Amino acid sequence: MQVDRYERYWMWAASGMLALFLVAIVVTAVSGGAHPPSHVETINPETLDIGTEFATPGVVTAPDGSLTVVMRAELYVFKPDVVRLPVGRPVRFRITTPDVLHGFQIVGTNVNLTVAPGYVSEGTTTFTEPGEYLVVCNEYCGLGHHNMYSRIVVEAAP
């Protein structure tokens, strides 16, 4: 069978591109791993109520003045459902779930996390404007997903 010279060039080019794409996929899969988009801190989802920081979710103030908000996402609720924070201070959100995959998005900010059972997800932001911010679950988690929301109330300094 006689193959034209230009047709051979195109076959080699197409094969080369396929090989390049395959190498790129393998390299990113091996180097990046299949981890949640966080710093990969694991936790036992069955023992969240026993002696962990997630047993009593809420706001914790560090000695340097920064704030850590510890939250739990459970079927159709965020705990706590209302979080009050001062304006202008760095806030770190730590959130986990004992049941299914959830989302954690603070509308109007850069915080958008995937919350997976067995992992602790973290996000950091600073609220520069006082007001009320809506927190929504942006991963479908069941029939009551549309009712899964929370509020963050950012108050001006006294």
* pLDDT per position as a tens digit, 47-105: 888 878 899 999 999 888 889 999 999 999 999 999 999 999 999 999 999 999 999 99
Q: Where are the domains of the chain?
A: 1-34, 41-155
pTM of the model: 0.73
pLDDT of residue 33: 62
Question: Which pLDDT does position 25 carry in this prediction?
Answer: 87
Whole-number pLDDT of residue 103: 94
Residues in the chain, total: 158
pLDDT of residue 67: 94
- Among residues 76, 75, 58, the alpha carbon closest in space to that of 67 is found at 58
Q: Which of 2.30.110.10, 1.10.3430.10, 3.90.209.20, 2.60.40.420 would CATH assign to domain 41-155? A: 2.60.40.420
Average pLDDT of the chain, as a whole number? 89
Res. 26 pLDDT band, cuts 50 70 90: confident
pLDDT at position 106: 95
Instruction: Verify cis geometry, omega within 30 degrees of 0, for the bond prior to 80.
Output: yes
Q: How confident is the model at residue 37 (pLDDT cuts 50, 70, 90)?
A: low
Sign of CA dihedral 135, 136, 141, 143: positive
Residue 110, pLDDT score: 87
CA distance linking residue 26 with residue 19, whole number of Å: 11
